A = this chain, B = another copy of it.
């Protein structure tokens, strides 16, 4: 079925800078995108801090790149009040940086259990409250917040929002008017297995679909964190999932985010960008 789907618009390709983070700094990433005709970029905050937000914003603007997201905010659960306040401050700063870049969204990775805690319900309530307390600032700054459900294998230590359904429940609770300030980032790596994926993408609709991240699930996967595959090297039916997003009205970028310690991080980043462009056309 998916073989019949037309290749995606190459102009929609975006580089999540995690993909080439081991060998390039943000300046080289921006220049690399420009050189390869990649029109979107999604930087990480540590890279942004190293270059300076102002300088990065200027370079990105001058290169004509769209900032398809800033990675990342979130990490709300904490052991105490002080920790929760620190998380809130961290998110307010992230929103300001995203605004300075003109980013299409700030990606939120919820955060896992606080140290020593087994209270998953409590952690999830902290995420809900944290997003709630961040939302007004995001609205004023014109930066939509994109909750990214992470694969259930990250529930304990990275994100206790683990399905699209759960992320959309949060959206409905906190932004029932669907004003555009809150939505989701759909990363195929995290959600491809979900029996409810198609129905939840439809439920999200274009108002809530703020970002679409691509990579692939390798068999075998040898590391929980840094063994993601290039599109086409794994088992995810990427054209099918893209078709679901498009049916729901999504017209945004396709952001490639590959954590790959044993393969792609070791290669010359310019080559990685070349393969990425090709696979985007052939496998997505």
Show the binding face of A for B, using Cβ within 8 Å: 2, 113, 117-120, 124, 151-153, 155-157, 160, 162-163, 165-166, 192-195, 217, 219-222, 224, 234-237
Cβ distance A197 to chain B, nearest Cβ, rounded Å = 9
Query: CB-nearest residue of chain B relative to A166?
Result: B195
- Which residues on the B side are within 8 Å of A221 (C-beta)? 153, 156, 224
The answer to whether A237 and B118 touch (CB under 8 A), given A157-B220, A224-B224, is yes
Interface centre among A153, A166, A221, A222 (most CB of B within 10 A): A153
Minimum CB–CB distance from A196 to chain B (whole Å) comes to 8
Contacts A151-B153, A155-B193, A195-B166 known; A237 to B119 CB distance under 8 Å?
yes
Question: Considering the chains assembled together, what is the distance between the CA atoms of A117 and B237 in angstroms?
Answer: 9
Q: A235's closest neighbor in chain B, by CB?
A: B156
Indicate if the CB atoms of B237 and A193 lie closer than 8 Å.
no
Question: In the bound complex, what is the Cα–Cα distance between A118 and B224 (angstroms)?
Answer: 21
- Which 9 interchain pairs have the tightest Cβ spacing? A155-B193, A118-B237, A152-B193, A153-B153, A156-B235, A166-B195, A156-B219, A152-B152, A157-B219
Chain B residue nearest to A157 in the complex (CB): B219
Instruction: Evaluate contact between A120 and B220: CB separation under 8 angstroms.
Output: no
In this complex, the member of A119, A155, A156, A166 whose beta carbon has the largest number of chain B beta carbons within 10 angstroms is A156
For A193, list chain B residues within 8 Å (CB).
120, 152, 155-156, 160, 162
User: A153's contact among B118, B152, B157, by CB below 8 Å, is which?
Assistant: B152
Q: Decide: A124 and B235 in contact? CB cutoff 8 A.
A: no
Give the shortest distance, in Å, between A176 (CB) and chain B (any CB): 19
21 contacts between A and B (CB under 8 A): A113-B219, A118-B235, A118-B236, A118-B237, A151-B153, A152-B153, A153-B221, A155-B193, A156-B193, A156-B217, A156-B219, A156-B221, A156-B234, A156-B235, A157-B219, A160-B193, A162-B195, A163-B195, A166-B195, A220-B224, A221-B224
In the bound complex, what is the Cα–Cα distance between A68 and B163 (angstroms)? 32
